[in-house]
């Protein structure tokens, strides 16, 4: 059964938990990022983002005027004052995407919360962007500024199709938020150029960093232009075929299965394992699921499902994080989920939520919502500080600040959130996801309204007006009312041992289906509990984590003293709530000073272990943190 998410204009969030998070993004993150794009944040590394669009606009004008335009090298990932001409492109090859992601977040935010001043600023940015577009529709400032002759010659590394994808996502959101078509028209013109350039009998290439696939489907959905869907399908189907395009474009000839990093090592229909750069992976898989749904391609869906199951059952942190290794920011091998070396990039968890929604749209199994929930309430929210001013790129499950400072193997694992990143992909990605969270919460088929995530809101569904009142995050209580009898499908969260539904229902694929209801109350029992990880995961043997509802908890040394590894949970613990903390029973081992000694049970004294929601960790300065604690059976 196909379902569809509900667009943001039809959703008004009013949720005690999510309102605050969205407000933080609206009040702090979006304005901060606006300043960052304009290089006006003291102490932050320069973005050059708007500056590049302005430079590109001058080049575009010069070309229109038939003037001579200089050429600079387009051969690096990052361009700085030290390595390039001051008139050339600056920043990372994917720098344009920051503006698009910001505009996407702004579009969503304006739908949720009109703000004329923000709209004015965003329109200015759009003007600057539109002025940079070449007459043929091309729009990527690196090549416009530096070298027009090299456009589309390094698809593997240089992110033109990636920036295009974010342009589309930003344009669609900006149009919905403002009614201003300019950026959408620009996106369509670039999309038209791409459709003219790539395909059968044309360039048989595809992007090194996927996203164009899902973006072209979104543009197809927005415009009805079939060639956008066709080109998305081409990108999906061409990927990984031999000869490898990434070899062809550089005259190479890779032996064996090269190109894992870009998921281009074999045709996607023959892929069943999540490999390579994790963000790229989930963006591709999202595009594959989109194409599968629009073309009723069950074979392609089956590949998506195989990959999904590989992630869900073997490559997923309890926090919803994916991409276990820093090397290539990539998926590691099955069951390799180290806590202290974790990469678990914020953007990868966001991309997993994209993938989950598309999978649920193809066929609503509760697995998709369950995993999206893990990612959303834990890794994604952990990505942002409580004041909205600093961010995690990497989301470890165990941190020893000493190791982060002394051990180069863990240099990526930061013990506190950072103000901004040279490669600033995560903060704007967070802003756009949180601002559009409603699109991931609800769905509809011809006859049924789906609740994938329990976020309080009023929704104008095509099956009726529906109101969700939710205390889900706090106590698992949700009431759904409709203005007329509707069919409902409510995800039963996987963490929930028992639940009550106030109306007759049948359970299928993890959803409670209710026919013709006007009011339904549900309660998901959300007592704190101990969770274990499969013993195939070496890092978690003999340990347990604590969860309550959708939240994973962790211990921090600010609450429990140093040497968190000396804490032992009592498997018979009761849990007490203390504000946002959970208090568990356990022991604290006495430190052993002798490095090696004859075995004897550790001296330990009973203690209370104070646990903090994972997404809240690291807000009180540098300190140790552990999600998994040793447990005494």
CB of 107 to its own copies, least distance (A): 36
Question: Is residue 425 annotated as a catalytic residue, yes or no?
Answer: yes
Count how many Cα atoms sit within 13 Å of the Cα of residue 576 in the half-sphere of its side chain: 7
CB of 533 to its own copies, least distance (A): 6
- With a CB cutoff of 8 Å and minimum separation 6, the contacts of 374 are 316, 318, 319, 320, 550, 552
- Toward its own copies, which CB reaches closer, 406 or 576? 406
CB of 372 to its own copies, least distance (A): 15
CB of 601 to its own copies, least distance (A): 4
- Toward its own copies, which CB reaches closer, 77 or 333? 333
Distance from CA of residue 129 to its chain's centroid?
25
Supply the angle between the helices 160-178 and 96-112 in degrees, to the nearest 10: 20
CB of 285 to its own copies, least distance (A): 18
From residue 503, alpha-carbon distances to 482, 488, 518, 524, 538 in Å are 14, 10, 10, 14, 44
- Toward its own copies, which CB reaches closer, 168 or 567? 567
- Toward its own copies, which CB reaches closer, 179 or 595? 595
CB of 565 to its own copies, least distance (A): 5
The secondary structure of 228-264, three-state, reads: HHHHHHHHHHHCCCCCCHHHHCCCCCCCCCCCCCCCC
- Toward its own copies, which CB reaches closer, 65 or 600? 600
Neighbour count for residue 238 (Cβ, 10 Å): 19
Cβ burial, residue 346 (10 Å; 0-12/13-18/19+): buried
* CA separation for the pair 430, 362 (Å, rounded): 25
Catalytic residue, from 329, 361, 373, 398: name it. Answer: 329
CB of 604 to its own copies, least distance (A): 10
DSSP 90-158: -EETTTHHHHHHHHHHHHHHHHHS--HHHHHHHHHHHHHHHHH--TTS---HHHHHH-GGGTTS-TTTS
Catalytic residue, from 195, 347, 425, 607: name it. Answer: 425
Cβ burial, residue 331 (10 Å; 0-12/13-18/19+): buried
Closest CA to 480 of 513, 443, 451, 448: 451
- Toward its own copies, which CB reaches closer, 3 or 400? 400
Which positions touch its own copies (CB under 8 A)? 312-314, 316, 318, 325-328, 332-333, 336, 340-341, 400, 402-403, 406-409, 497, 529-538, 541-542, 544, 563, 565-566, 571, 589, 591-602, 630-633
- Toward its own copies, which CB reaches closer, 80 or 565? 565
Q: What is the CA radius of gyration of the chain?
A: 25
Q: Where in the sequence numbering do the catalytic residues fall?
A: 329, 425
């Amino acid at each position: 059964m196909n379902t569809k998410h509900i667009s943001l204009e039809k959703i008004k969030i009013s949720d005690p938990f999510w309102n605050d998070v969205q407000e933080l993004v609206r009040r702090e993150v979006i304005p901060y990022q606006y300043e960052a794009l304009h290089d006006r944040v003291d102490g932050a590394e320069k973005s050059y983002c708007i500056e590049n669009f302005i430079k590109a606009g001058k080049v575009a004008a010069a070309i229109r005027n038939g003037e001579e335009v200089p050429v600079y090298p387009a051969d690096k990932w990052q361009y700085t004052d030290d390595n390039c001409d001051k008139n050339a492109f600056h920043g990372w090859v994917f720098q344009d995407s920051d503006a698009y992601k910001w505009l996407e977040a702004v579009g969503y935010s304006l739908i949720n919360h009109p703000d004329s001043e923000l709209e004015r600023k965003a329109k200015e940015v759009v003007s600057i962007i539109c002025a940079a577009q070449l007459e043929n529709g091309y729009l990527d400032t690196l090549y416009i500024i530096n070298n027009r002759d090299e456009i589309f010659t390094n698809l593997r590394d240089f992110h033109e199709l990636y920036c295009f994808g974010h342009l589309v996502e930003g344009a669609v959101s900006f149009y919905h938020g403002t009614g201003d078509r300019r950026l959408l028209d620009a996106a369509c013109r670039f999309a038209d150029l791409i459709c003219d350039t790539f395909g059968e009998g044309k360039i048989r290439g595809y992007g090194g960093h996927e996203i164009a696939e899902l973006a072209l489907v979104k543009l197809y959905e927005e415009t009805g232009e079939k060639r956008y869907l066709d080109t998305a399908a081409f990108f999906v189907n061409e990927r990984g075929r031999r000869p490898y395009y990434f070899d062809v474009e550089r005259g190479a000839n890779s032996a064996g299965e090269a190109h894992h990093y870009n998921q281009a090592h074999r045709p996607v229909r023959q892929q069943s394992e999540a490999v390579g750069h994790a963000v790229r992976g989930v963006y591709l898989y999202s595009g594959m699921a989109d194409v599968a749904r629009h073309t009723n391609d069950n074979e392609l869906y089956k590949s998506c499902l195989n990959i999904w199951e590989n992630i869900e059952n073997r490559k997923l942190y309890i926090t919803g994080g994916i991409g276990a290794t820093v090397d290539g920011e990539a998926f590691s091998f099955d069951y390799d989920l180290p806590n202290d070396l974790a990469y678990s990039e914020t953007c990868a968890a966001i991309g997993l939520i994209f993938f989950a929604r598309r999978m649920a749209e193809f066929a609503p199994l509760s697995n998709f919502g369950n995993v999206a929930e893990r990612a959303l309430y834990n890794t994604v929210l952990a990505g942002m500080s409580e004041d909205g001013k600093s961010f995690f790129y990497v989301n470890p499950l165990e941190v020893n600040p000493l190791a982060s400072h002394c051990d180069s193997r863990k240099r990526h694992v930061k013990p506190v959130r950072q103000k901004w990143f040279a490669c600033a992909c995560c903060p704007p990605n967070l802003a756009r996801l949180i601002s559009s969270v409603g699109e991931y919460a609800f769905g509809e088929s011809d006859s049924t309204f789906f609740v994938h995530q329990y976020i309080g809101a009023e929704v104008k569904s095509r099956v009726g007006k529906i109101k969700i009142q939710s205390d889900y995050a706090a106590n698992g209580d949700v009431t759904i009312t409709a203005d007329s009898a509707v069919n409902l499908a409510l995800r039963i969260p996987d963490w929930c041992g028992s639940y009550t539904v106030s109306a007759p229902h049948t359970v299928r694929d993890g959803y409670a289906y209710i026919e013709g209801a006007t009011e339904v109350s549900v309660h998901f029992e959300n007592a704190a509990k101990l969770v274990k990880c499969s013993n195939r995961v070496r890092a978690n043997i003999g340990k347990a984590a604590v969860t309550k509802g959708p939240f994973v908890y962790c211990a921090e040394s600010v609450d429990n003293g140093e040497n968190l590894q000396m804490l032992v949970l009592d498997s018979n613990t009761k849990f007490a709530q203390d504000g946002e903390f959970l208090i568990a029973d356990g022991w604290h081992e006495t430190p052993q000073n002798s490095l090696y000694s004859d075995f004897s049970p550790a001296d330990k004294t009973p203690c209370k272990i104070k646990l903090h929601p994972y997404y809240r960790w690291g807000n009180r300065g540098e300190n140790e943190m552990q999600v998994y604690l040793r447990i005494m059976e």
